[in-house]
Amino acid sequence: MTIVCPRCGGRDCIIPADMVLDSVYQMYVACPSCMADPTFGKQTPFNRLFGTADGDINENTRSIDDATMRCQRCGKRHLDVVVAHVLGILLREGLRDMQATLFDVGTPMITIGYQIPFPPRLGRDTLILIMNTIDKKTAEMIISEVPEVKGVIQRKGSLERPIGIPDTGSSPHTYDLLAGCDLRGDIVSSAFGELCIYKTQSDTHIEFSRGKSDKMQVLESLYYQRKLGGSVVDGCCGAGTLGLVSVLAGAREVILNDAFLPAVKNTILNIRANASVLGLELEMHADPSELPIVAGTPVLVATAHGSCDVSVYHGDLASLAAVIDRCDLCLIDAFIGVPTAEFVRAWKDTAGMVVTI
C-alpha cells in the first residue's frame, strides 16, 4: 500500500508504520566502512572546521561539498558533516559569518524521529532543518546541494510560541516551509506498543521528548487504573498520538478531535499509516479540503473500524460535548498556558472523567 505525501505528492515520505518499526533501528547506523565520528565540536567556528583562519570566505566555503566525508560504501554522512555543509552554504550566501558554529545553523530534525543513542548517519532526504535566519533562495540551494536535507522551514516568532491555535478565537501560528517537503514522523513508544506518528512539521507543534514522554506515562497510569478501556475522547488531538495509543491500549471507542485543520488531516494520515499496527480500516465522511482552517461547529470527517470504533472530528472542543452522547474519559492536551476551564466545564456532564494533560 502506497500513501501519497499530502505535502509534496511523493511516494517515499510516508512508509507504513509496520515497515518503519522494522527498519528504523538500521536507518541511521554507520556501516562497517563508515568513517569515525568527526573530531570537531558543535561550537567550533566554521573557519576552524574546514577552512583556515586566514583564508577568505570563498576559499573556506569551497572546502566542503557533497563529497566531503561521505562513506563510499553506504553513501551516508555524519549529522555534523551535513550541518557543516549547510553552514558552508549559509556563509557563502552571506547569512552567517565565519565565527558561526554548527549550533548557529538551526534545529535539525531527522525524518523518522526516535531515541537513538548515537549521532545519526544520514542518507538522502533524512533531515529537516528549522532555521531563524534564512531566505527562500538559499533554502532552495540547500535542498539542491545537500542531498540529505529534505525540507527547510523558517521559524516565525519566538522559540516558545506553540505552532497551531491556542484556542478557536486565535488565528493560527505556523512556520513557513521555504523549500522541499516537511513531512516527518516520530516513533511513539508506550507500554502498549509503538506507532509512527507523521506530521507536516511546519504547522505542527514541536515536542522534544527525552525518552518516554510524560503524556505516555499519564496514559499508562490511566490504563492501570482501568480507565482506558471504554470510550475515550482525545479532545485536542494534534497528530493523533494520545487517541491512537488509546486504540493500542484496547479502548472500545476513541473520538479524536482538533479545531485546527492541519491536525485533523495529520490524524487521518496517521490512521492510514498505522492501519495494520492498529487493526483499523478508514472511511472518509467529509472532504478535508472543503473545511475551514479553524473549526466551529464539529464536523465528522472520518471513522475507522476494526479493533476499535474510531471517529475523527474537526470542531471546537466545547461544542463537541453537545454532539457526543456520553464518554468514559475525556483527555484535554492543550498548549501550556492555555486555560482549559471552559473545556472541563463543557465536558463534566458528558464524560465520566476529565483529565487535562
* Binding site residues, Zn ion, CB under 5 A: 5, 7-8, 10, 13, 31, 33-34, 71, 73-74, 181, 183
The least distance separating Zn ion from the CB of residue 31, rounded to whole angstroms, comes to: 3
CB of 80 or CB of 104, closer to Zn ion: 80
The least distance separating Zn ion from the CB of residue 61, rounded to whole angstroms, comes to: 25
CB of 8 or CB of 100, closer to Zn ion: 8
Count of residues for the chain? 357
* Nearest in space to 148 (alpha carbons), one of 108, 178, 114: 108
Q: Please, what is the angle between helix 261-273 and helix 241-248, to 10°?
A: 30
As given in the structure block, the three cell numbers for residue 328 are: 468514559
How far is residue 146's CA from residue 288's CA, in Å, rounded to a whole number? 34
Query: 50-58: long-range contacts (C-beta < 8 A, 24 or more apart)?
Result: 50/84, 50/88, 51/98, 57/91, 57/92, 57/98, 58/92
CB of 125 or CB of 234, closer to Zn ion: 125
Cβ-count burial 192-220 (b if 16+ within 10 Å, e if not): bebbbbbbbbbbbbeeeeeeebebbebbb
Assign 284 to helix, strand or coil: strand
Radius of gyration of the chain measured on its C-alpha atoms: 22
As given in the structure block, the three cell numbers for residue 187 are: 516513533
CB of 5 or CB of 338, closer to Zn ion: 5
CB of 102 or CB of 183, closer to Zn ion: 183
The least distance separating Zn ion from the CB of residue 40, rounded to whole angstroms, comes to: 19
CB of 96 or CB of 184, closer to Zn ion: 184
* Sign of the C-alpha dihedral computed for residues 109, 41, 78 and 65 taken in this order: positive
The least distance separating Zn ion from the CB of residue 10, rounded to whole angstroms, comes to: 4
- Would you say 263 and 312 are in contact if contact means Cβ atoms under 8 Å apart? no
As given in the structure block, the three cell numbers for residue 9 are: 505528492
The least distance separating Zn ion from the CB of residue 261, rounded to whole angstroms, comes to: 18
The least distance separating Zn ion from the CB of residue 288, rounded to whole angstroms, comes to: 17
The least distance separating Zn ion from the CB of residue 102, rounded to whole angstroms, comes to: 21
CB of 73 or CB of 137, closer to Zn ion: 73
CB of 69 or CB of 74, closer to Zn ion: 74
How far is residue 255's CA from residue 258's CA, in Å, rounded to a whole number? 10
The least distance separating Zn ion from the CB of residue 49, rounded to whole angstroms, comes to: 21
Neighbour tally for 276: CB within 10 Å: 12
